[in-house]
């Protein structure tokens, strides 16, 4: 049933794009922006790889950790924050600078490391 509904929907869109040049142009622009965003996100995911800020904070000196963070772009830093749930309250602004993102990751990693250390004190 869902296949038929989607097929009908895409048929309507295809027919409208064929009949209306302005609609076709807007649809093409929208899809190309989506594709560009998708490619940019994939590149960021590949570059970030398995970087985990808490593990990196614990195993390396602070200077090395900061150098590693500085190597990432804003998109990559946002991906790290999103992937590791460092901003559950949404306190970061949408247009935060690279330095603000780096400081945020550093602060969150330090807080989690201190919290984890207290959890295992007996």
Entry pTM: 0.67
**pLDDT score recorded for residue 3:** 87
Residues 30, 83: Cα–Cα separation, whole Å: 26
Range of the domain at 121: 49-122
Q: Looking at the structure, tell me whether residues 54 and 109 fall in a common domain.
A: yes
Tell me which H or E stretch contains 99. helix 98-119
Q: Looking at the structure, tell me whether residues 5 and 53 fall in a common domain.
A: no
Q: Looking at the structure, tell me whether residues 27 and 56 fall in a common domain.
A: no
| Digitized pLDDT (tens) for each residue of the chain, 122 residues in all | 788 888 888 888 888 888 989 988 998 888 888 888 888 888 888 888 888 998 888 888 988 888 888 889 888 898 898 888 888 877 777 777 888 889 899 989 998 888 887 887 66
């Amino acid at each position: 049933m869902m296949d038929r509904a989607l097929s009908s929907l895409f048929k309507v869109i295809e027919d409208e794009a064929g009949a209306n040049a302005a609609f076709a142009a807007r649809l093409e622009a929208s899809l190309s922006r989506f594709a560009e965003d998708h490619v940019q996100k994939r590149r960021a995911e590949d570059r970030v790889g398995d970087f985990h800020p808490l593990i990196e904070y614990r195993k390396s000196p602070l200077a090395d950790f900061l150098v590693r963070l500085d190597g990432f772009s804003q998109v990559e830093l946002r991906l790290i924050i999103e992937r590791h749930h460092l901003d559950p309250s949404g306190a970061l602004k949408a247009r935060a600078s690279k330095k603000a993102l780096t400081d945020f990751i550093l602060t969150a990693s330090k807080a989690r490391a201190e919290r984890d250390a207290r959890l295992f004190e007996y």
